[in-house]
């Protein structure tokens, strides 16, 4: 798989790519929260951060997935959940990880995930996952994430499992 890396300065140029990956990844999801319009708000919100970073995965010249996120501000955490008391130091928020259906279960998600995090200088990485998606939560647990709580950041959002893992450097 080929990987492409982007930063805040690339956000405008990759916006359509991210929206297209989203559309394919969520094509069978009727929930309005997962609409292209709603997702575009989150892409714009996250990519406006100066430390935003993104990785896309490519097979045979076609984008098959992506991941992006940024650092939380000091003391920052997910809306709708209190930051765990023992959480110290810089924290990277993995806002999105998507792989199109054809490539799920192939290890590509972990490759994209790991490529995004390889240059992140944080003590903790955290993410949220729909609390009803037990298989996805189990996948993150295999990647050393631990559920630290649940959050419902907005009235129209799903209930999310909030997960975190310590960064290990070799």
For the segment 79-122, what is each residue's pLDDT rounded down to a tens digit?
999 998 888 899 999 999 999 999 999 999 999 999 999 989 99
Q: DSSP 3-state assignment of 15?
A: helix
CA diameter of the chain: 45
Instruction: For residues 58 and 151, give the distance between their C-alpha atoms in angstroms, rounded to a whole number.
Output: 32
Tally of domains within the chain:
1
CATH number of the domain bearing residue 158: 3.40.630.30
Predicted confidence (pLDDT) at residue 169 exceeds the cutoff of 70: no
pLDDT digits (tens, 9 = 90+) for 41-89: 999 999 999 999 999 999 999 999 999 999 999 889 999 999 988 888 9
Per residue in 22-35, pLDDT (tens digit) is 999 999 888 888 89
| Residue where the block lists tokens 């490529």 | 115
β-pairing verdict for 160-166 and 2-7: unpaired
Q: Indicate the pTM of the whole model.
A: 0.94
Q: How many CA atoms lie within 13 A of 102 on its CB side?
A: 8
Three-class SS state of 130: strand
Domain boundaries, position 100: 2-166
**Chain mean position to CA 139:** 14
């Amino acid at each position: 798989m080929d990987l492409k890396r982007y930063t805040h300065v690339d956000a405008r140029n990759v916006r359509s790519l991210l929206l297209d990956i989203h559309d394919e990844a969520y094509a069978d999801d009727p929930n309005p929260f997962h609409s292209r319009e709603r997702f575009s708000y989150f892409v714009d919100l996250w990519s406006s951060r100066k430390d935003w970073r993104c990785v896309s995965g490519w097979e045979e010249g076609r984008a098959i997935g992506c991941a992006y996120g940024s650092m939380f501000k000091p003391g920052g955490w997910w809306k709708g959940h209190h930051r765990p008391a023992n959480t110290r130091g810089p924290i990277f928020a993995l806002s999105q990880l998507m792989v199109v259906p054809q490539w799920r279960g192939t290890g590509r998600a972990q490759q994209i995930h790991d490529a995004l995090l390889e240059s992140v200088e944080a003590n903790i990485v955290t993410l949220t996952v729909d609390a009803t998606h037990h298989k996805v939560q189990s996948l993150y647990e295999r990647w050393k994430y631990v559920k630290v709580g649940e959050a419902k950041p907005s009235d129209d959002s799903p209930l999310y499992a909030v997960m975190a893992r310590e960064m290990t450097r070799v």
